[in-house]
Amino acid sequence: MGARLLSGAGDETGGLDLSVVLPVHNEAGSLPTLWEELTEVLAKGGWTAEVIFVDDGSTDDGVAFMRGLCAHDPRVRLVRLDGNHGLSAAMDAGLRRARGRIVVTMDSDLQNDPRDIATLLAAMEGWDAVTGWRRDRHDPWLKRLSSRVANAARNAVMHDTVRDSACSLRAMRRACLPDLPRFRGFHRFIPNLLRLTGHRVLEVEVNHRPRRFGVSHYGVRNRLGTASLDLLAVRWMKARQLRYEVDHEA
């Protein structure tokens, strides 16, 4: 059964340039700084934008902060899930409600730099999606090592060349989203999945910052088994693709 929403707006469309989707789980310490940085970036870019916070069952004071933003800034939307369903569910809920022509996703823990939004958008010409590549990671050595191993395994199994598939900082044309398969763990494979469905995906180097507040929700122990199964599922999807050309149509 899917995550049940406690609150959230519908899927109406609008003439927005940009939707920023921010999954949140217990990031109360990061949110004020994130909002300050993000509003500065949006003002400098001059884009018409909405910011969609997706609360994935937080138990800290972050919900009160996000509700306050909603009350005072019409660009802000808050979607709340009925519990902690994980990053894929939160990402899906935000993507389904995005109304901008370009949809940007990023983490809420301040390790992604909002200033890189401009870098992604500047590279969009001729591409359907631009995803971040965290060349210089500021994470514990074990997390960095596990990410290298995971990326190498994904590329070997998928016959792909994505350097940082799990980087949450991405920009995608909203027209791509209906083609993106959704399942538990899909957030780790978004560049691969977009390429699998025929979309043009570019990777660009982005900034990565040390975590300042809270603790990481992901580690080797809680990712290895499920990520391996997910990889096999994505490989199966690739192997079972329909490949044909229409020779003639009257």
The per-residue pLDDT for 10 is: 40
CA dist., res. 159 & res. 192, Å (int):
10
Exposure b/e, 82-94, CB count within 10 A at least 16 = b: eebbbbbbbbbbb
Q: Find where tokens 């631009």 sit.
A: 130
How many beta carbons lie within 10 A of that of residue 43, not counting itself?
10
Q: Which of 38-42, 183-187, 200-204, 237-241 has the lowest mean pLDDT?
A: 237-241
Quick one: pLDDT at residue 242? 58
Residue 199 pLDDT exceeds 50:
yes
> At residue 99, what is the residue type?
R
Please write down the HEC assignment for all residues of 167-187: CCCEEEEHHHHHHCCCCCCHH
pTM: 0.79
Query: Which residue would you say has higher pLDDT here, 210 or 117?
Result: 117
3-state secondary structure of 28: coil
Residue with tokens 């934008």: 49
- Window from 57-61, 122-126, 217-221, 245-249 with minimum mean pLDDT: 217-221
**What is the dihedral angle through the alpha carbons of 189, 107, 167, 94, rounded to the nearest 10 degrees?**
30
> What pLDDT score does 43 carry?
97
More confident residue, 233 or 146: 233
Cβ(78)–Cβ(8) below 8 Å = yes
Q: What is the mean pLDDT of residues 78-105?
A: 96
How far apart CA 125 and CA 214 sit, in angstroms, is 37
Residue 133, pLDDT score: 87
CA distances from 161 to 70, 88, 104, 174, 223 (A): 40, 22, 22, 24, 21
**pLDDT band of 9, cuts 50, 70, 90:** very low
For tokens 């999606």, the residue is 129
- pLDDT, average across residues 103-111: 96
pLDDT at 222 over 60: no
Q: What is the pLDDT of residue 25?
A: 96
- Give pLDDT, residue 11: 41
18-35 pLDDT per residue, tens: 999 999 999 999 999 999
CATH numbers and ranges of domains, the chain: 5-137+162-216 (3.90.550.10)
Tell me, what amino acid is at 59?
T
pLDDT score at 88: 92
Residue with the bigger pLDDT between 210 and 244: it is 210
Quick: pLDDT tens for 39-84.
999 999 999 999 999 999 999 999 999 999 999 999 999 999 999 9
Average pLDDT, the chain: 83
Token duo for residue 27: 């990031």
User: Does position 231 have pLDDT exceeding 90, yes or no?
Assistant: no
**Confidence tier at 102 by pLDDT (50, 70, 90):** very high
